[in-house]
């Protein structure tokens, strides 16, 4: 943002000299502002997909609707095909899961938690972790799946 000068209307008063013919322009140059905004837009467009929980698993498909979003960042528990249980992106041993969940529940307002489990994990293991979530103080457990799975009402996909 700078001030530039422009020539006056061409008429000069006698005795005033050159100072009167140059007037400051009061226009703001918005080009640098637009350039910065476009760069920020590109950065956020690239970074937004990377902000999901980064544990790669194969989620099962379902035709269920998505849960409404909350203001507080959701707590995500992930069960990997190797049998690891992770709180967000931190691996937790199964014998410490309930105590860590109780500590987290004491600091949070919401009792909602999202459980992401690989489709190949035995049902018994998923239910064991759901019981630990309940014992840890989380009563609203949402099972995360991929959309577009088979429908059981005969209408196909």
Q: Are residues 64 and 139 in the same domain?
A: yes
- How confident is the model over 4-19, as a mean pLDDT? 54
Rounded to whole angstroms, the Cα distance separating 146 from 7 reads 66
pLDDT tens column, 128-148: 999 999 888 888 888 887 777
Residue 157 domain flag: no
What's residue 47's pLDDT? Answer: 82
What's residue 138's pLDDT? Answer: 87
pTM for the full model?
0.53
Q: Are residues 27 and 83 in the same domain?
A: no
Q: Are residues 105 and 67 in the same domain?
A: yes
pLDDT tens column, 12-53: 555 555 555 677 777 888 888 899 999 999 998 888 776 665
Q: Could you say which of 13, 33, 50 is where a domain stops?
A: 50
Query: CB within 8 A of 58, min separation 6: which ones?
Result: 81, 118, 119, 120
- How confident is the model over 64-87, as a mean pLDDT? 79
Residue 48 dihedral angles phi and psi, to the nearest 5°:
-60, -45
Residues 59-90 as b or e (16 or more Cβ within 10 Å = b): eeeeeeeeeeeeeeebbbbbbbeeeebbbeee
Q: Are residues 133 and 79 in the same domain?
A: yes
pLDDT tens column, 83-132: 889 988 888 998 888 999 888 888 888 888 889 888 888 889 889 999 99
Q: Are residues 126 and 96 in the same domain?
A: yes
Q: What angle do CA 104, 127, 85 make, to 5 degrees?
A: 50
What's residue 4's pLDDT? Answer: 55
Residue 155 domain flag: no
């Amino acid at each position: 943002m700078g001030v530039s000068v422009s020539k006056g209307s061409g008429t000069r008063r006698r005795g005033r000299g050159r100072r009167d013919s140059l007037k400051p322009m009061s226009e703001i140059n918005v080009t640098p502002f637009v350039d910065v905004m476009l760069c920020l837009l590109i950065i956020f467009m690239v970074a937004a997909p990377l902000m999901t929980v980064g544990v790669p698993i194969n989620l099962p498909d379902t035709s269920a609707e998505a849960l409404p979003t909350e203001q507080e960042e959701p707590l995500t528990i992930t069960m990997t095909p190797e049998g690891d249980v992770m709180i967000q992106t931190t691996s937790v041993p199964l014998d410490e899961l309930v105590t860590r969940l109780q500590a987290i529940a004491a600091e949070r307002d919401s009792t909602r938690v999202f459980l992401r489990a690989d489709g190949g994990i035995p049902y018994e293991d998923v239910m064991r972790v759901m019981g630990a979530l309940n014992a840890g103080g989380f009563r609203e457990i949402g099972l995360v799946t991929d959309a577009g799975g088979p429908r059981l009402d005969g209408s196909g996909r």
